[in-house]
Amino acid sequence: MDKRILILFFFFFIGCEELTQQFLQQAKLLFANECENGTTFMIATYNVENLFDTEDDPHKNDNAFTPGGKYRWTKRRYRKKLKQIAKVINRLNEKAPLVLLELVEIENRKVLEDLVQLLNFEVGIVHRESDDRRGIDVALLYRKDWFKVLQVQRLPNPPQARTTRNILYVRGTLKGVELHVFLNHWPSRRGGEKKTFHKRVAMARLLRRKVDKILAKDPDAAILIMGDFNDYPDDVSLRKALKATPHSHRNATLCNLAYATHEACEEDAAICSHCYRKHWGMLDQIIISQSLCQGIGNLYLLQEAQAFYTPDMLYSHPRYGLMPNRTFSGVTYHADGYSDHLPVYTLWCYTNAFAVK
């Protein structure tokens, strides 16, 4: 018997609205790998490894990325970098319509405008300059026919991390569902993980306070948090300070969709978004609120976070083995490189078959 007929049959005999809503939630989970009569789409985050233009900005420490700088960053190298990153984004979009994409480590709006000219689909841009010393920022590319921007806010950095990238908050509607999006690039581990972890904990607490304010007003709010956290899903900053737990924890307010892939990488059973001396891990993650975990409106989750790659996006290091095919190793330039990170993506379904509030 057709599954939709079974659903209608069930509705006919249920008079309680609460039970009906519970059944709808279970039906979404039951068909979570199918997206029948709907559209599969993608949400992703990608650290593109120092996407700078070639010009010297007197307000930024970007001298290394100029023609006469440390990396000899010429227009030719800049154009090649743009083509490589655009190639990856177009490949993502070929897998499924790419509706929301966070970009990490971009210098300014100009590089974004140059980049989107090379894409095979039209997108809008959300960008704000950050307080980062080098001038690298986060940004959001979005499909205008799917996502409508209502508000953009740059969160002020905590005292422990004043000169890092600000968390960028974007409120909008995704196919009619109000969505709170937080774009992240937390302080790096440069200088040692133990010496710098307090900075990432401070960013996590800042973000958690903002999340709590949203949930206090609307416990069913749809919240999307993504980016390069420079910590792994089981680190203190994410697990305890942000309180982002595995998807399997049903009572969690925030579900970290990168947990399962990260655990598989620790057992050498998968490739994650980043590799440090043979150690693969998910520094790049996508985290969602419980309402999105269960499905909200006409949206529900199909696939948890995974790293995206094709063979040319990887290379075999003579000492450390398989790694992301990056643009620079030290000051050595790799013309066919992409980034020292791989994109991380999730798949979703938009359908009229279910509508849960």
CATH number for the domain harbouring residue 71: 3.60.10.10
Q: Are residues 285 and 238 in the same domain?
A: yes
Looking at the structure, tell me whether residues 51 and 19 fall in a common domain.
no
Which amino acid is present at 103?
L
> Is there a single domain that holds both residue 9 and residue 129?
no
Domain match, 121 and 59 both: yes
Distance of CA 345 to the CA centre of its chain: 7
How would DSSP label each residue in 127-165?
E-----SS--EEEEEE-TTTEEEEEEEEPPPPGGGTTSP
Q: Which residues contact 2 (CB under 8 A, 6 or more apart)?
A: none
Whether residue 47 is found in the same domain as residue 194: yes
Q: Token pair of 306, please?
A: 């995974």
Same domain, 108 and 16: no
What total of structural domains would you count in the chain? Answer: 2
Residue 132 token pair: 């980062």
**Is 26 in the same domain as 166?**
no
The residue to which tokens 């790998």 are assigned: 33
Decide: 17 and 321 in contact? Cβ < 8 Å: no
My answer on whether 43 and 184 are in the same domain is yes
Instruction: Supply 91's token pair.
Output: 């490949």
In a domain, 357, yes or no: no
Residue 323, domain member (yes or no): yes
Residues 73 and 62 both lie in one domain: yes
Domain that residue 15 falls in: 1-30
pLDDT in tens, the chain (357 residues): 444 444 444 444 344 444 334 434 444 444 445 687 799 999 999 999 999 999 999 989 999 999 999 999 999 999 999 999 999 999 999 999 999 999 999 999 999 999 999 999 999 999 999 999 899 999 999 999 999 999 999 999 999 999 999 999 999 999 999 999 999 999 998 888 888 999 999 999 999 999 999 999 999 999 999 999 999 999 999 999 999 999 766 678 999 999 999 999 988 878 999 999 889 999 999 999 999 999 999 999 999 999 999 999 999 998 888 999 999 999 999 999 999 999 999 999 998 765 544
The pTM for the full model equals 0.90
Reference 130, options 103, 101, 152, 107; nearest CA is 107
Distances (CA, A) of 64 to 57, 69, 70, 291: 11, 4, 5, 44
Please check whether residues 104 and 10 belong to one and the same domain. no
Question: Looking at the structure, do residues 26 and 154 belong to the same domain, yes or no?
Answer: no
Q: What tokens were used for 68?
A: 């006469």
